[in-house]
Amino acid sequence: MEEEVLEQVDRNRIVELACNLANIALTYHDMDQSTKGLELYEQAVAIFSKLGAASDVAEAIGNMAAMHVALGNLEKATEYCRDAIARHESLGYRQNTAHIHETLARVYAASGNHERARRSLDTARSLYESRNDVGKALEIARMLRG
């Protein structure tokens, strides 16, 4: 019993470390230092993956996509978006999937592929509607009209 408690304490400390790495990565991103943020996120993803924390991995990969957008790495951003979308979909996280579709739309628009951008936004709108997030659905609808 005592050994199980110690293992859980160790696991909790490891999870806390990964969460701290992810939070610091976001701070670097906010300070326009996305390269440093990506390095920390890679470490966090490795830890989350080892722990089997699928939702944390999906969230981190989605944030890494946004960092690649900020750095102008549009091909990498597209890869990370697709990976995050697949992971969020497998978990049934429609809200997160919608958010990543918005990021993917920005990537497509930046690369000049406006039709794909519209399709990604339309997918995001549909997902927000399915979650009864009327505010986000309307925001996306306005973007589609504009």
Q: Which CATH architecture group holds 2-145?
A: Alpha Horseshoe (1.25)
Give dist(CA 63, CA 65) in Å, integer. 5
Give dist(CA 144, CA 137) in Å, integer. 10
Give dist(CA 94, CA 118) in Å, integer. 18
Q: What is the pTM of this model?
A: 0.87
Q: What pLDDT digit, counting tens, does each position of 41-90 carry? A: 999 999 999 999 999 999 999 999 999 999 999 999 999 999 999 999 99
Q: What pLDDT digit, counting tens, does each position of 116-137 carry? A: 999 999 999 999 999 888 888 7
